[in-house]
């Protein structure tokens, strides 16, 4: 189903120029794992031909890769040198029941982050440089390979999360973090959501450098509810922080210490929203919200008996909704709390992804879209 | 003076000065508006004093609504606007021009709301960087980006410049620590970007505003991420014979998987200058020094430091000196953070801000000395070593126009060098007017056009800080 | 910063000095953040950097002072917080002194302003006149609301508000109980306004020093040190006062009989320590002035050299208010607090302690609006540490803060005298 697989940025640029001259519209796919197969476009471009790590300097903690490079290739190269992408990108395949390989370009374009986002920042915070082809078929670079760079307007941030609406990324450059010597997870059992949110919120305010904080509610399975705090660092430091936190929250009971593959599996489950893989959840909503407002949303959700999963110490809440749910009403609830909901999986046709209730902001966004892509050829319908 | 040009003032605007001033006077309380030339003069420059331009008037509004009213008026009248925070820009970002009014946000300095579980603080944007940390310190929190100018510079200026600081190696720069902003657009409308939740959907307009140098709108409020203070922090001084040794040590520490909160570099001239001011106990008999700070409990600090010391020993470290008290820690950082000002005791300086890949450090340090010496000048180096953000201070005599010209040329050569080795013109101070004409060294014509097309979405008439960032020739404007 | 002085204008030594100061300012703006008036106004014109810029423009172009420049220079408290902050070592004090003198020469103030300044300059430095004026002032207090409506009346009103209800009697402190083993000999600045407002301060000083075996030289009356008029830009009057003080001390100094000149009002201390600079071009006085400045010590600096015994812990919690002339003018920070701690008190720093209380010599009279806002801010900060008493080393601050709070405010030396066997300060009941 792919119409064109460019092998280089100039080749892609030329193709785009042609497309815009002939009034074609282009959909971009990376690995196709997010299930966002472009619809209503005349041509589909795959980045799979733009593959390979362009440079990797472990001592500078930076890596550059062409946009279609499989994420696993990048992660493997980094792991070999004891480094990682600190924002822990989510893998959509379990949730979306898709196959294929997630690509590094899509990670950037969709600003995909996982549990460590709460402490280390999102993909957009680690993306320091891009090369892209805009709607005029020009090759545009922004940012670069150095960690600090404020030269000119930050088109990197603008493209991170733009989902390919401004152009096609051809190369991305990320800054990196060392993989820590040790990773420890504290797990409290049986807390209700309010207690869990309170615990996580308080823990994030301690000096004990929580790496990630999540809560898996009681799904009526054997394990019951689990509240997780992850610590990373040198071993003595992790041990010390573990003790401090266990003491601080002893009124919630002694936490279990989880390490190794068992811990990794737990965090993968959180990162990839695995509790929602079942097709029974017709709609899966991903909600970003202020931690202090999360309890109100959770209360609302529990009134409907809705399955939830809480990450980012309460800043990210997954909701699994029944087929005949009134999504608009949920969106309203969430918006009233200053949050935002994204329909990640749904039997419904999702509306435009970037709809902003503020006319002025919507105007700015479509202005920017036009500034990159005057003919509106990329991923139409997102804005 | 003035090798760098400003846009020609618009004669039609100058001719209507009195009417414009009268219009503004009708709009705001009298103590918000400054029009007397004697008084406006104090606003004619920022910390880049080699250039100055008198504004038509200065406005110091007290609310977002006042800012909005002024912006709407200026838009209607076709008057240029230059935003100002504390005027500490080293790139001339806040320097006005004859046909512009200055909107200063220094009076918008209130703390609005601390949301502890969310770890966010909502403030008015004219609050100083240090006042933000002070506001949450009693609760055990701080605001991480810490430009050396943090005592004076405003959050508005930090957002406009995407400022960084010594502790950004671990915590990121401004853009990584801002969740939301209230912005008054050129036409006077008010928008709220981002919010108190993370990663809002859609195009990252907030990410675009950060670092946009006052060209897209006026920031009046911000929601900032604040972080819990570490249990303790200890800076350690490492003295080396040569800059190369120090540079290699930095690469080795990072290579070993250790990311200290800060790694700051000073060469011999800088050490001497700062020690004379701060009396921080810097070693004076070394060729280069690193200040490395680690955080945590005492045991954690000891543990990490031991690893760093081992690496430093392998790189020929000559002196190792730990801070033993809070006072010593304060002195050590005072010395570093006062580096630029303290340099003022011995000479005028131009402060460069290029960033380079850290692997290029030894080569670039050597080339920089050669370049500056080639112009018959001296250079002192202080910089954020962990991220390759250089701050060579080119010393010169500002009362000698020829030396100023030489210093500017040396600066341009150094920045060109930074770009050539894979770096950039500016890591945290911004382009302003200072590096404006070097932009084509880093960007192609198409790339500059693309940035200007985005700029035009916000300000099609080039009314906001119009002489900055983009070279005056070849400016892109909507048809 | 670049300057553009015509070379011939730099022949003048004061101009040359100011040019040097301006050259060292890099316009970094750090100082704005710690300037009291900038904190209140958020206007760079009311900040050190702004003032420096206005002064630069005025001096460089040999312009007569304009009303606007005068307005912003007048608002400066001369608290010198900016000098503490400045990493470049800009000597703001000398620059603003020069500017004030320039203003005095080139600017004709409105009548009411001239009047009040003349009155202050004619009364404050002279204890007898001041005492008489205060007596009159008490009579005038009921008139304050009426006066406030006259031109310059706001200031008259604030002047009256500062008048204490009761004036202490003013005995000249006598030496007593001079310890057998004489350890030192010092001169004690009698001062002007302080003598009238609170003669107990020097009395306590005398008692404590005597008990410690320090003799106080019986020098001629020095009169006012010149600080008050100097800060109003009355340069000549300031120099006359300085010379009179120098003359009073000189015979003792020349004979090598003084270990120190002790000052109990830090405002005066800052000025006396600057005599050497003030009179540097005076062929007859330059070397004497320098000698005086070198001998001048705040009482707490001197006491710190004497190794006072450690006292039993006491229950009083003291908020130590560091006068600007103490912490910024003379850069004295730890000595007073350490002395109080050694004496057994719990000593707390006042939040935002580097910001002026608004007293600043005659400032609270000339700029009552700013002064009151600063006082209220100061009092709020002091009250946050909930002290039993406030200790400070400057009479001006005592009067100023005293009008805004019921917490007793006492000179550090009186507290120390009490702790080491002297009488309990009257303010503590
Ligand atoms: C001694 C010294 C040390 C410094 N050290 C550092 C350092 O370590 N790291 C660092 O990053 N920088 C440093 N700087 C540079 C400077 O302090 C920063 O750029 C700072 O963020 C500027 O803040 P400001 O409030 O002074 O802004 P200003 O200088 O007033 O303005 C800076 C820019 O922001 C724009 N602006 C101001 N207010 C607004 C607003 N409300 N809305 C939109 N735009 C606005 C202005 O138009 C201008 O372009 C240093 C400067 C000095 C003098
Ligand atoms: S801090 Fe010093 S150098 Fe900086 S502006 Fe103020 S006076 Fe000038
Ligand atoms: S002396 Fe005090 S009031 Fe005057 S400029 Fe300096 S800090 Fe401000």
Which of C303, C335, C360 delimits the end of a domain?
Answer: C303
Averaged pLDDT, B341-360: 91
Ligand 2 proximity of C31 Cβ (cutoff 6 Å): yes
**What is the pairing mode between strands A226-233 and A212-216?**
antiparallel
| Residue C55 clears pLDDT 50, i.e. is over it | yes
Which of B340, B365, B394 delimits the end of a domain?
Answer: B340
Over the stretch C294-348, which tens digit does the pLDDT of each residue have?
Answer: 999 999 999 999 989 999 999 999 999 999 999 999 999 999 999 999 999 999 9
Q: Looking at the domain assignment, is residue B143 inside a domain?
A: yes
Q: Looking at the domain assignment, is residue C71 inside a domain?
A: yes
Instruction: Give me the residue from C28, C43, C66 closest to B88, CB to CB.
Output: C28
Q: Which helix (H) or strand (E) segment is C399 a member of? A: helix C395-402
| Percentage of chain C modeled with pLDDT above 70 | 90
- Whether residues C276 and C298 fall in one domain: yes
Over the stretch B402-441, which tens digit does the pLDDT of each residue have?
Answer: 999 999 999 999 999 999 999 999 999 999 999 999 999 9
| Residue B172 clears pLDDT 70, i.e. is over it | yes
Q: Among the bound ligands, name the one nearest to the CA of residue B88.
A: 1
- Whether residues C286 and C344 fall in one domain: no
The domain limits of chain A are 9-178, 182-270, 274-346
Q: Looking at the domain assignment, is residue B425 inside a domain?
A: no
- Whether residues B378 and B335 fall in one domain: no
Q: How far is the CA of B47 from the centre of ligand 2 (A)?
A: 10
| Percentage of chain B modeled with pLDDT above 70 | 100
Q: Looking at the domain assignment, is residue C169 inside a domain?
A: no
Q: Give A27's contacts (C-beta < 8 A, 6+ positions apart).
A: A37, A38, A39, A41, A43, A44, A45, A379
| Residue A232 clears pLDDT 60, i.e. is over it | yes
- Residue B461 belongs to what domain range? 436-474
Q: Among the bound ligands, name the one nearest to the CA of residue B83.
A: 1
CB-based contact A145 B455, cutoff 8 Å: no
Q: Looking at the domain assignment, is residue C21 inside a domain?
A: yes
- Whether residues B334 and B257 fall in one domain: yes
Subunits adjacent to chain C (3 or more Cβ pairs under 8 Å): B
- Taking each continuous run of H as one helix and of E as one strand, the counts in chain A are 13, 17
- Helix, strand, coil percentages for chain A (3-state, nearest 5): 35, 25, 40
Ligand 1 atom nearest to B158, measured from its CA: 21
Cα separations (Å) of B220 from A51, B63, B116, B182, C14? 43, 8, 22, 6, 44
Q: How far is the CA of C115 from the centre of ligand 3 (A)?
A: 25
- Whether residues B222 and B122 fall in one domain: yes
Q: Looking at the domain assignment, is residue C66 inside a domain?
A: yes
Q: Looking at the domain assignment, is residue B239 inside a domain?
A: yes
Ligand 3 proximity of C81 Cβ (cutoff 6 Å): yes
Over the stretch A81-123, which tens digit does the pLDDT of each residue have?
Answer: 999 999 999 998 889 888 888 999 999 999 999 999 999 999 9
Which CATH number is B272's domain given?
Answer: 3.30.70.2190
pLDDT band at C221, cuts 50/70/90? Answer: confident
Averaged pLDDT, B451-467: 97
Averaged pLDDT, A359-373: 95
- Whether residues B207 and B141 fall in one domain: yes
CB-based contact A139 B446, cutoff 8 Å: yes
Whether A182-270 and A274-346 share one fold: the answer is yes
Q: Does B98 contact C at CB distance below 8 Å?
A: no
Ligand 2 proximity of B29 Cβ (cutoff 6 Å): no
Instruction: From chain B, pick out residues whose CB is under 8 angstroms from the CB of A59.
Output: 251-252, 254-255, 358-359
Of residues C149 and B42, which shows the higher confidence score? B42
CA distance B36 to B44: 13
CB-based contact B197 A290, cutoff 8 Å: yes
Q: Looking at the domain assignment, is residue C178 inside a domain?
A: no
Find the residue in A nearest to B359 (Cα).
A60
Identify from B133, B341, B391 which residue to disrupt to test chain C contact, counting C C-beta atoms within 10 A and taking the largest count. Answer: B341
Instruction: Give me the residue from A142, A150, A340 closest to B201, CB to CB.
Output: A340
Task: From the options 3.40.50.1580, 3.30.70.2190, 3.90.1150.10, 3.40.1190.20, give the CATH code of A182-270.
Answer: 3.30.70.2190
What is the average pLDDT value for chain C, to the nearest integer? 89
Instruction: Give me the residue from C2, C66, C87 closest to B49, CB to CB.
Output: C2
Q: Which helix (H) or strand (E) segment is A130 a member of? A: strand A127-134
Which CATH number is C52's domain given?
Answer: 1.10.1060.10
- Whether residues C145 and C209 fall in one domain: no
- Whether residues B139 and B211 fall in one domain: yes
| Residue C213 clears pLDDT 80, i.e. is over it | yes
Q: Looking at the domain assignment, is residue B428 inside a domain?
A: no
| Residue C170 clears pLDDT 60, i.e. is over it | no
| Percentage of chain A modeled with pLDDT above 70 | 96
Q: Looking at the domain assignment, is residue C125 inside a domain?
A: yes
Angle at which helices B326-337 and B268-278 pack, to 10 degrees?
A: 120
Q: Looking at the domain assignment, is residue B29 inside a domain?
A: yes
pLDDT at A37: 62
- Whether residues B219 and B123 fall in one domain: yes
- Whether residues B217 and B248 fall in one domain: no
Contact C174, C246 (CB under 8 A): no
Instruction: From chain A, pick out residues whose CB is under 8 angstroms from the CB of B168.
Output: 148
pLDDT at C175: 65
Q: Sheet containing C346-349: which strands, arranged edge to edge?
A: C346-349, C317-321, C389-392, C409-411
Residue in A378, A367, A139 with CA at minimum distance from that of residue B445: A139
Ligand 3 proximity of C95 Cβ (cutoff 6 Å): no
Ligand 3 atom nearest to C81, measured from its CA: 7
Identify from B38, B93, B345, B398 which residue to disrupt to test chain C contact, counting C C-beta atoms within 10 A and taking the largest count. Answer: B38
Rounded to the nearest angstrom, the minimum Cα separation between C414 and chain B is 30
- For residue A366 the two structure tokens come to 């479509």
Find the residue in C nearest to B346 (Cα).
C24
Q: Looking at the domain assignment, is residue B374 inside a domain?
A: yes
Chain centroid to CA A181: 25
Q: Looking at the domain assignment, is residue C177 inside a domain?
A: no
Ligand 2 proximity of C27 Cβ (cutoff 6 Å): yes
- Whether residues B51 and B118 fall in one domain: no
CATH class of the A9-178 domain in this structure: alpha beta
Which CATH number is B128's domain given?
Answer: 3.30.465.10
Q: Does B326 contact C at CB distance below 8 Å?
A: no
- Helix, strand, coil percentages for chain C (3-state, nearest 5): 55, 5, 35
Over the stretch C1-27, which tens digit does the pLDDT of each residue have?
Answer: 889 999 999 999 999 999 999 999 999
Instruction: Give me the residue from B42, B348, B399 closest to C44, CB to CB.
Output: B42
- Whether residues C120 and C92 fall in one domain: no
pLDDT at C350: 94
| Residue A29 clears pLDDT 90, i.e. is over it | no
**What is the pairing mode between strands C317-321 and C389-392?**
parallel
Contact B428, B412 (CB under 8 A): no
Find the residue in C nearest to B61 (Cα).
C42
Q: Looking at the domain assignment, is residue B209 inside a domain?
A: yes
Rounded to the nearest angstrom, the minimum Cα separation between B356 and chain C is 25
**Which of C21, C35, C43 to mutate for ligand 3's pocket (most ligand atoms within 8 Å of CB)?**
C35
Q: Which residues of C133-150 are buried (b: 16+ CB within 10 A; e: fewer)?
A: bbeebeebeeebeebbee
Chain C interface, Cβ < 8 Å to B = 1-4, 23-34, 38, 41-45, 49-50, 53-54, 57, 66, 68-69, 72, 85-89
pLDDT band at B1, cuts 50/70/90? Answer: very low
Q: How many CB atoms lie within 10 A of CB C261?
A: 27
Please tell me the total count of domains within chain C. 4
Q: What beta strand segments (E) does B32-175 contain?
A: 33-34, 57-59, 80-84, 100-104, 111-115, 120-124, 141-142
**What is the pairing mode between strands B100-104 and B190-194?**
unpaired
pLDDT at C82: 96
CATH class of the A274-346 domain in this structure: alpha beta
Which CATH number is B352's domain given?
Answer: 3.30.70.2740
CB-based contact A153 B451, cutoff 8 Å: yes
Helix (H, G, I), strand (E, B) or coil at C405: coil
Q: Whose CA is nearest to atom 23 of ligand 1?
A: B157
- Whether residues B135 and B38 fall in one domain: no
Residues 311-350 of A with CB under 8 A from B: 312-316, 338-340, 342
Please tell me the total count of domains within chain B. 5
Over the stretch B233-287, which tens digit does the pLDDT of each residue have?
Answer: 999 999 999 988 998 899 889 888 888 999 999 999 999 999 988 888 999 999 9
Residue in C76, C55, C78 with CA at minimum distance from that of residue C5: C55
Rounded to the nearest angstrom, the minimum Cα separation between B111 and chain A is 18
Q: Among the bound ligands, name the one nearest to the CA of residue B125.
A: 1
pLDDT at C191: 76
Q: Whose CA is nearest to atom 5 of ligand 3?
A: C48
Which of B104, B127, B152 delimits the end of a domain?
Answer: B104
Rounded to the nearest angstrom, the minimum Cα separation between B88 and chain C is 6
Ligand 1 proximity of B213 Cβ (cutoff 6 Å): yes
A and C make contact (3+ CB pairs below 8 Å): no
Residues 10-49 of A with CB under 8 A from B: none
Residue A284's DSSP bridge partners are A320, A345
Which of C303, C327, C350 delimits the end of a domain?
Answer: C303
* Most confident range, picked from A30-39, A182-191, A354-363: A182-191
Q: Looking at the domain assignment, is residue C311 inside a domain?
A: no
Find the residue in C nearest to B58 (Cα).
C43
- Whether residues C196 and C251 fall in one domain: yes
Which CATH number is C221's domain given?
Answer: 3.40.50
**Which of B100, B147, B216, B459 to mutate for ligand 1's pocket (most ligand atoms within 8 Å of CB)?**
B147
The overall pTM is greater than 0.90: yes
Q: How many CB atoms lie within 10 A of CB B329?
A: 18
- Whether residues B260 and B218 fall in one domain: no
Instruction: From chain C, pick out residues whose CB is under 8 angstroms from the CB of B33.
Output: none
Q: Sheet containing C214-216: which strands, arranged edge to edge?
A: C214-216, C184-188, C260-263, C296-298
Helix (H, G, I), strand (E, B) or coil at B237: strand
CB-based contact B344 C43, cutoff 8 Å: no
Over the stretch C82-137, which tens digit does the pLDDT of each residue have?
Answer: 999 999 999 999 999 999 999 999 999 998 888 888 888 888 778 778 777 777 77
ipTM: 0.95
Instruction: From chain B, pick out residues whose CB is under 8 angstroms from the CB of A292.
Output: 115-118, 196
Which of B64, B83, B104 delimits the end of a domain?
Answer: B104
- Whether residues B159 and B83 fall in one domain: no
pLDDT at C361: 78
Contact A59, B359 (CB under 8 A): yes
Ligand 1 proximity of B89 Cβ (cutoff 6 Å): yes
Ligand 1 proximity of B55 Cβ (cutoff 6 Å): no
Instruction: From chain A, pick out residues whose CB is under 8 angstroms from the CB of B435.
Output: 151
CB-based contact B47 C24, cutoff 8 Å: no
- Whether residues C345 and C403 fall in one domain: yes
| Residue C380 clears pLDDT 50, i.e. is over it | yes
- Residue C16 belongs to what domain range? 9-106
């Amino acid at each position: 189903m792919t119409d064109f697989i460019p092998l280089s940025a100039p080749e892609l640029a030329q193709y785009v120029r042609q497309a815009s001259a002939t009034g074609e519209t282009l959909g971009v796919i990376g690995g196709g794992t997010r299930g966002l197969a472009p619809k209503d476009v005349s041509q589909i471009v795959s980045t799979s031909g733009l593959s390979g790590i362009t440079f990797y300097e472990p001592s500078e903690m930076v890596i550059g890769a062409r946009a279609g490079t499989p994420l696993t290739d990048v992660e493997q190269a980094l792991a070999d040198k004891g480094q990682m992408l600190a924002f822990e990108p989510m893998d959509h395949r379990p949730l979306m029941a898709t196959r294929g390989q997630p690509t590094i370009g899509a990670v950037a374009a969709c600003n995909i982050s996982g549990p460590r986002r709460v402490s280390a920042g999102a993909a957009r915070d680690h993306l320091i440089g891009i090369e892209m082809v805009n709607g005029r078929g020009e090759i545009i670079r922004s940012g670069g390979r150095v960690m600090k760079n404020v030269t000119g307007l930050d088109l990197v941030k603008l493209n991170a999360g733009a989902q390919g609406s401004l152009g096609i990324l051809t190369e991305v450059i990320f800054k990196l973090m060392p993989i820590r010597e040790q990773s420890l997870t504290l797990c409290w059992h049986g807390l209700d959501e309010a207690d869990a949110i309170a615990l996580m919120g308080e823990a994030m305010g301690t000096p004990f450098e929580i790496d990630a904080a999540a809560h898996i509610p009681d799904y009526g399975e054997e394990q019951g509810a689990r509240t997780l705090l992850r610590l990373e660092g040198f071993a003595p430091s992790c041990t010390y922080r573990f003790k401090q936190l266990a003491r601080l929250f002893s009124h919630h009971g002694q936490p279990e210490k989880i390490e190794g593959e068992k811990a990794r599996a737990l965090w993968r489950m959180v990162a990839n929203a695995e509790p929602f893989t079942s097709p029974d959840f017709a709609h899966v909503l991903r909600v970003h919200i202020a931690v202090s407002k999360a309890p109100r949303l959770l209360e609302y959700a529990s009134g409907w008996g809705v399955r939830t999963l809480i990450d980012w110490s309460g800043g990210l809440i997954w909701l699994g909704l029944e087929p005949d749910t009134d999504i608009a009403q949920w969106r309203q609830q969430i918006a009233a709390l200053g949050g935002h909901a994204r329909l990640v999986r749904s039997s419904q046709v999702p509306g435009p992804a970037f709809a902003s209730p503020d006319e002025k902001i919507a105007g700015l966004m479509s202005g920017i879209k036009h500034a990159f892509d005057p003919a509106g050829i990329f991923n139409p319908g997102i804005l | 003076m003035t090798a760098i040009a400003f846009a020609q003032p618009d004669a039609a605007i100058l001719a209507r000065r009195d009417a414009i001033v009268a219009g503004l006077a009708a709009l705001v309380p009298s103590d918000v508006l400054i029009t007397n030339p004697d008084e406006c003069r104090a606003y004619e420059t920022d910390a880049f004093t080699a250039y100055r331009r008198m504004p038509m008037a200065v406005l110091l509004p007290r609310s977002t609504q006042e800012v909005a009213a002024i912006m709407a008026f200026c838009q209607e009248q076709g008057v240029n606007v230059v935003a100002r925070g504390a005027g500490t820009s080293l790139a001339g970002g806040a320097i006005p021009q004859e046909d512009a009014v200055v909107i200063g946000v220094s009076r918008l300095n209130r703390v609005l709301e601390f949301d502890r579980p969310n770890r966010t603080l909502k403030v008015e944007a004219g609050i100083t960087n240090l006042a933000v940390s002070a506001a949450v310190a009693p609760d055990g929190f701080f605001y991480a980006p810490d430009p050396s100018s943090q005592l004076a510079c405003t959050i508005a200026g930090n957002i406009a410049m995407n400022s960084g600081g010594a502790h950004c190696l671990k915590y990121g720069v401004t853009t990584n620590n801002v969740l939301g902003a209230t912005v008054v657009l050129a036409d006077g409308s008010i928008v709220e970007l981002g919010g108190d939740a993370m990663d809002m959907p859609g195009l990252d307009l907030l990410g675009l505003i950060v670092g946009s140098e006052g060209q897209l709108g006026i920031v009046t409020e911000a929601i900032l991420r604040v972080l819990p203070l570490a249990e303790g922090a200890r800076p350690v001084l490492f003295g080396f014979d040569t800059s190369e040794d120090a540079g290699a040590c930095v690469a080795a520490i990072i290579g070993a998987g250790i990311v200290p909160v800060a790694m700051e570099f000073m060469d011999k001239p800088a050490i001497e200058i700062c020690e004379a001011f701060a009396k921080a106990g810097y070693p004076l008999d070394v060729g280069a020094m690193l200040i490395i700070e680690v955080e945590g409990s005492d045991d954690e600090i000891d543990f990490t430091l031991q690893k760093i010391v081992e690496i430093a020993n392998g790189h020929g470290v000559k002196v190792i000196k730990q801070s033993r008290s809070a006072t010593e820690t304060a002195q050590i950082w005072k010395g570093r953070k006062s580096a630029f000002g303290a340099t003022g005791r011995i000479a005028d300086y131009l402060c460069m801000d290029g960033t380079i890949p850290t692997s290029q450090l030894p080569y670039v340090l050597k080339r920089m000395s050669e370049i500056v010496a080639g112009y018959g000048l001296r250079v002192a180096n202080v910089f954020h070593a962990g991220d390759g953000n250089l701050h060579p201070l080119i010393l010169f005599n500002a009362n000698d126009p020829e030396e100023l010209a030489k210093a500017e040329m040396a600066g341009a050569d150094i920045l060109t060098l930074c770009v050539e080795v894979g770096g950039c013109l500016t890591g945290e101070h911004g382009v302003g007017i200072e590096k404006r004409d070097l932009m084509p060294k880093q960007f192609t014509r198409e790339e500059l056009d693309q940035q200007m097309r985005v700029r035009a979405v916000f300000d099609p008439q080039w009314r906001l800080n119009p002489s900055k960032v983009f070279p005056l020739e070849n400016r892109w404007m909507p048809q | 910063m670049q300057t553009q002085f015509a070379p011939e204008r730099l022949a003048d030594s004061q101009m040359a000095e100011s040019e040097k100061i301006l050259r060292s300012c890099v316009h970094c703006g750090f100082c704005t953040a710690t300037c009291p008036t900038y904190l209140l106004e958020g206007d760079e014109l009311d900040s050190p950097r702004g003032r420096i810029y206005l002064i630069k423009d005025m001096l460089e172009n040999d312009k007569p002072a304009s009303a606007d420049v005068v307005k912003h220079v007048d608002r400066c408290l001369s608290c010198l917080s900016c000098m503490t902050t400045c990493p470049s070592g800009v000597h703001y004090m000398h620059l603003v002194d020069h500017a004030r003198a320039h203003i005095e020469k080139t600017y004709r103030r409105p009548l009411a302003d001239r009047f009040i300044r003349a009155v202050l300059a004619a009364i404050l430095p002279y204890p007898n006149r001041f005492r008489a004026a205060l007596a009159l002032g008490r009579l005038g207090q009921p008139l304050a609301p009426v006066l406030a409506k006259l031109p310059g009346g706001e200031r008259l009103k604030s002047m009256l508000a500062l008048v204490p209800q009761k004036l202490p009697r003013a005995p000249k402190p006598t030496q007593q109980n001079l310890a057998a083993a004489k350890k030192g000999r010092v001169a004690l600045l009698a001062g002007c306004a302080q003598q009238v407002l609170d003669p107990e301060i020097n009395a306590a000083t005398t008692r404590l020093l005597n008990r410690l075996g320090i003799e106080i030289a019986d020098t001629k009356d020095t009169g006012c040190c010149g600080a008050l008029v100097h800060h109003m830009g009355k340069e000549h009057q300031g120099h006359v006062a300085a010379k009179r003080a120098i003359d009073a001390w000189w015979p003792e100094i020349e004979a090598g009989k003084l270990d120190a000149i002790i000052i109990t009002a830090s405002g005066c201390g800052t000025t006396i320590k600057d005599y050497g600079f003030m009179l540097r071009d005076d062929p007859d006085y330059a070397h004497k002035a320098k000698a005086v400045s070198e001998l001048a010590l705040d009482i707490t600096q001197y006491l710190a050299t004497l190794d006072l015994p450690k006292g039993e812990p006491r229950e009083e919690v003291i908020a130590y208010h560091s006068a600007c002339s103490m912490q910024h003018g003379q850069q004295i920070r730890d000595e007073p607090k350490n002395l109080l701690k050694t004496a057994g008190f719990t000593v707390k720093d006042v939040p935002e302690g580097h910001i002026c209380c608004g007293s600043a010599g005659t400032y609270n009279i000339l700029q009552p609006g700013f002064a009151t806002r600063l006082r209220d801010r100061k009092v709020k900060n002091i009250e946050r540490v909930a002290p039993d008493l406030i200790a400070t080393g400057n009479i001006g601050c005592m009067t100023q803060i005293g009008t805004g709070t019921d917490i007793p405010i006492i000179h550090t030396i009186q507290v120390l005298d009490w702790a080491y066997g002297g009488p309990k300060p009257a303010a503590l009941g």
